[in-house]
Structure 1
Amino acid sequence: MLFKRPVLDRIAAGTVTLAFRRWRRPTVRAGGTLTTPAGVLAIEAVDVVAAGRITEAEARSAGFTGRDDLLAGLGAAEGESYRIAFRLQGEAPRAALRQQDDLAPDEVAALQGRLDRLDRSARHGAWTRAVLRLFLALAGIAHDYVALDLAVPRAERPEPFRRASRFGEVPVLVTDSGTLCQSDAILIHLAECSGRFGADSPAGWDEIRQWLFWEANRIGFSVPNLRFARRVASNTPADVLRWLEARARGDLDRLEEELARRAFLAGESPSIADIACAAYLWWLDEAGLDPFGWPAVQAWLGRLAAIPGWRHPSELMAG
């Protein structure tokens, strides 16, 4: 059960003590706990509730402006509506553990042994290192990665994917509260829910969104299509290749101009704007472009690669 950052802040302040979700089956239980960035929540009650019986006061206790706002947030996902009552029990244990990184050799060996036992018992082969590395690389959000063969026609792709992907495309994020499509929409959602790689102010979010929309229309179009044309579609007409290369060079020039005067695109720290705009730039040479023709861009990619837990996208996507 995920919460957006503004709700997490109100949970920490003690002003949000309810949540409403539409589930096929509950993912939390009364008497259990839930660890969130705000701390550990003690789950006090999990009840099915008819939408018509949700009150204005309950909606406000869940962080919404009112009942209509809450019902709009529940959407039309399959399942029943649940009311979850909770209280903030204390600080998340991992918050303290993250500071304890000076492990003795025997502690490292014990941890390695536990991971090896998990790998040996897994039905689909070793997975712990991949999941842990992805957890670190993607803002500390634990998840399962399911690869999809894009060579398979959309109508023949696995039924769970076709049900989850409203546009028939990847990526798709599936959570206990529903599904979300389109990479930039997913990035915004994860940044808001995790409190990582987002912004601290509305103006900061406006800056991030501008770069995300630019990426979707510009460099997220030009560079990957140029790479595809040169590596795969060998029959691409020469005039199309020239157009794609000119557009890609123009987009890289724009990034070069921006990054010559700032370390990151939307502030002093890396954000989802950087993650999105850099997505295809690790393979510029495969698009027939000299990466060192844009030195500020290369320096920026180096700063991103220096973030703790970073791995090359080719390695991440390999699982």
Structure 2
Amino acid sequence: MRFTGPDARAAAAGAVTVQFRRWAAPRVIAGRTYRTNAGRIDVTSVRAVDPAKLTKADARRAGRPSPEQLLSELPGDPAHPLWRIEFTLATDPDPRAALAADDALDDAAVAEITRRLDRLDAASSHGPWTRQYLRTIAEQPGVRAPDLAAAYGRETQPFKIDVRKLKNLGLTHSLAVGYELSPRGRAYLERTGGRQRSRRS
């Protein structure tokens, strides 16, 4: 689940604790933790609601002054149900952070990372990319994502989605601008030299 810019900042500060979405079916589940552009959130409640019965309290918790403004700004198909998602900021440690900090890679850990990177390469529609991106981020930390993407002839958003896959493996960190390798990512490149298997034709 993603927030708009102002909503992301408000949610990260704890000022927004409810969101509304028009979905054909719910895309989040109560009781689960999700990574969002406002940080990690714990979803506590998901339920369909009648738009005509929204209250001012609902709107305020969603960062809007009135139900009318809230509904007018909602994207999505008005024919879809309106879902009320209540959440809190997750307070437990992000397991990705612990993983990224772990640079004590034995042979088994290196082999597992290699296996997962190979799977990402094999599933790619634009050819093997994982080690190339790791080397690029190692050599150009803090460079804007659009600039990195352009160097590969790619659109920014698909490029960022790919880099997020590396982050999910604990290999990169996001900076205020651009990226850097995590300790785990640096250790992996040092152990492997950033080797990348050739894709079979």
Q: Establish whether TM, by shorter chain, passes 0.5.
A: yes
Deviations 1:175-195 (A, max 9, x none): xxxxxxxxxxxxxxxxxxxxx
TM-score by length of 2: 0.57
CA drift of 1:3 comes to 0.6
1:99 and 1:58 map into 2 onto residues whose CA distance is 38
Are 2:153 and 1:313 equivalent residues in the alignment? yes
Which residue pairs with 1:84 in the alignment?
85
If each structure's strand is expressed as a fraction of its own residues, which one has the higher value? 2
CA RMSD of aligned residues (A): 3.8
1:36-47 matches, within 5 Å, as: 36-47=36-47
Which residue pairs with 1:2 in the alignment?
2
CA drift of 1:5 comes to 2.8
Give aligned-pair identity as a percent. 32
If each structure's helix is expressed as a fraction of its own residues, which one has the higher value? 1
**Which of 1 and 2 has greater Rg?**
1
Which residue pairs with 2:123 in the alignment?
126
CA drift of 1:2 comes to 0.7
TM-score by length of 1: 0.38
- Call closer, same or farther: CA 1:314–1:14 in 2, change over 3 Å: closer
* Over 3 Å off, 4+ runs: 128-133, 314-317
1:151-300 matches, within 5 Å, as: 270=144, 275=146
Name stretches of at least 5 consecutive residues in structure 2 with no aligned partner: 135-142, 163-201
Which residue pairs with 2:74 in the alignment?
74
Name stretches of at least 5 consecutive residues in structure 1 with no aligned partner: 138-268, 276-303
CA drift of 1:310 comes to 6.3
Contact residue 42 and residue 88 of structure 1 kept, 8 A = yes
Size of the alignment, in residue pairs? 146
Structure 2 residue matching 1:8: 3-state secondary structure: helix
Which residue pairs with 2:115 in the alignment?
113
Larger relative contact order (C-alpha < 8 A, sep ≥ 6)? 2
Tell me which moved more, 16-25 or 57-66: 57-66
- Call closer, same or farther: CA 1:67–1:34 in 2, change over 3 Å: same
